């Protein structure tokens, strides 16, 4: 078996075949991958039930009383696969799992190996021949349902970008780099990445809302579980001297990039948790773009700590927060499901509750150290 990569030039159209085998699903998938050399998409048939699909569906070796998608899902198929290819750039290859003579491969798609560019009919003929071979060998009817369509390629990057919308929260306008800034707002650029925190999640939004009305000029602030760094950037824009940490190296790197992109400089960023800074006078963590160091907090402490994580982790960090905060220091906790709010409040009962916010099923708390 030989495989082929699609033409690197983007075609205007491509062919899509949805194949729903009645039996031997994994064998069908192996056959399709081997003869096309392409990756396929696997889907559950339960997600396919709709009238439009019924109109397009065709059947091979399937009795007429099963000739719609509802009966297919009910009677014999739980999985389907989708094959997408450029007919001008994809070749059919020899299938090594079946005797060529038994499959009558010549009538299916030429003389076997690398015969010619794939066409709709040659691939369907290959699938029909394969179903016939399986039926013969297993002594029972093996068939498949399918749809065939021709689709226009899209600019998927542009389509993705169009779905990432800016966010307004108080005086801040948080937007990806491909959206224009707003002149009447303080603009923050955050390009979505694998690290969380573009501001759209309710827990992040509430943190931004709470921070955006605080005067942080000259105050030492910490973003715990910084993700994209958005909350640290907000604190810096509010005048804070900001440090940040996360246990995920990707988040640490993204935070560094986003601080630089928004024209603010962190005091320190490190890989690890709050406890790492409490236990070490100084430690160095190298990344591709900067050195990050943990700070000694035994004597100085923070004026403000913001932690947007999850309730269970926040509960475990209770003593660390108390130790890291200055007397009368402020702690903002978020990522708390409403059902766990009273539990968190009980754990942090040695602190004063200043403010409680709820958005959807999420709660944020603003607390103050009292001792």
Question: Do 271 and 249 form a contact (C-beta atoms < 8 A)?
Answer: yes
What is the residue whose two structure tokens read 């690398």?
114
pTM to 2 decimal places: 0.59
Of 101, 128, 153, the last residue of a domain is: 153
370 or 305: which carries more pLDDT confidence? 305
Of 100, 127, 153, the last residue of a domain is: 153
Looking at the structure, tell me whether residues 148 and 174 fall in a common domain.
no
- Would you place residue 332 in the very low, low, confident or very high pLDDT band (cuts 50, 70, 90)? very high
pLDDT of 197: 56
Tell me the average pLDDT across 363-367.
98
β-sheet bridge partners, residue 333: 307, 365
- Residue ranges making up the domain that contains 355: 166-369
CB-based contacts of 349, cutoff 8 Å, min separation 6 = none
Residue 112 in any domain: the answer is yes
pLDDT of 289: 37
CB-based contacts of 161, cutoff 8 Å, min separation 6 = 176, 178
Looking at the structure, tell me whether residues 102 and 237 fall in a common domain.
no
- Would you place residue 194 in the very low, low, confident or very high pLDDT band (cuts 50, 70, 90)? low
Looking at the structure, tell me whether residues 143 and 195 fall in a common domain.
no
Looking at the structure, tell me whether residues 208 and 179 fall in a common domain.
yes
Looking at the structure, tell me whether residues 243 and 133 fall in a common domain.
no
Looking at the structure, tell me whether residues 195 and 125 fall in a common domain.
no
Greatest distance between any 2 Cα atoms in the chain? 85
Residue 35 in any domain: the answer is yes
CB-based contacts of 157, cutoff 8 Å, min separation 6 = none
pLDDT of 52: 65
Residue 158 in any domain: the answer is no
Looking at the structure, tell me whether residues 170 and 318 fall in a common domain.
yes
In tens, the pLDDT along 31-51 reads: 888 888 888 888 888 787 777
In tens, the pLDDT along 215-273 reads: 999 999 999 999 999 999 999 999 999 999 999 898 999 999 999 999 999 999 999 98
Residue 358 in any domain: the answer is yes
Work out how many domains the chain is built from and give that number.
2
Looking at the structure, tell me whether residues 202 and 332 fall in a common domain.
yes
Tell me the average pLDDT across 195-203.
71
Looking at the structure, tell me whether residues 130 and 201 fall in a common domain.
no
Looking at the structure, tell me whether residues 202 and 126 fall in a common domain.
no
pLDDT of 9: 46
Looking at the structure, tell me whether residues 91 and 212 fall in a common domain.
no
Looking at the structure, tell me whether residues 198 and 121 fall in a common domain.
no
Of 102, 121, 153, the last residue of a domain is: 153
Residue 4 in any domain: the answer is no
């Amino acid at each position: 078996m030989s495989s082929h990569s699609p033409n690197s030039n983007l075609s205007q159209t491509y062919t899509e075949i949805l194949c729903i085998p009645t039996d031997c699903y994994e064998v069908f998938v192996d056959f399709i991958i081997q003869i096309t050399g392409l990756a396929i998409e696997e889907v559950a048939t339960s997600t396919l039930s709709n009238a439009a699909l019924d109109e397009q569906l065709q059947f091979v070796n399937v009795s007429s009383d099963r000739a719609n998608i509802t009966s297919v899902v009910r009677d014999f198929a739980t999985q389907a696969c989708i094959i997408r290819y450029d007919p001008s750039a994809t070749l059919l290859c020899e299938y090594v799992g079946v005797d060529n003579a038994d499959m009558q491969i010549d009538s299916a798609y030429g003389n076997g190996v690398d015969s010619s560019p794939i066409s709709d009919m040659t691939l369907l003929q290959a699938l029909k021949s394969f179903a016939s071979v399986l039926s013969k060998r297993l002594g029972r009817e093996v068939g498949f349902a399918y749809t065939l369509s021709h689709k226009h390629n899209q600019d998927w990057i542009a389509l993705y970008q169009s779905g990432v919308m800016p966010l307004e929260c108080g005086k801040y306008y948080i937007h990806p780099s491909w959206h224009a800034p707003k002149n009447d707002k303080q603009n923050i650029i955050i390009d979505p990445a694998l690290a969380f925190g573009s501001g759209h999640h309710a827990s992040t939004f509430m943190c931004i809302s709470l921070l955006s009305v605080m005067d942080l000029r000259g105050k030492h602030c910490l973003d715990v579980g910084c993700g994209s760094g958005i909350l640290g950037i907000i604190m810096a824009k509010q005048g804070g001297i900001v440090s940040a940490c996360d246990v995920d190296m990707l988040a640490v790197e993204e935070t560094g990039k986003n601080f630089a992109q928004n024209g603010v400089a962190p005091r320190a960023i490190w890989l690890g948790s709050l406890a790492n800074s409490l236990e070490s006078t100084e430690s160095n963590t190298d990344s591709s773009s900067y050195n990050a160091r943990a700070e000694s907090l035994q004597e100085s402490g923070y004026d403000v700590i913001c932690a947007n994580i999850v309730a269970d982790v926040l509960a475990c960090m209770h003593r660390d927060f108390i130790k890291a905060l200055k007397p009368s220091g402020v702690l903002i906790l978020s990522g708390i499901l409403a059902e766990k709010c009273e539990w968190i409040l009980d754990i942090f009962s040695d602190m004063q509750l200043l403010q409680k916010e709820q958005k959807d099923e999420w709660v944020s708390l603003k607390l103050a150290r009292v001792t």
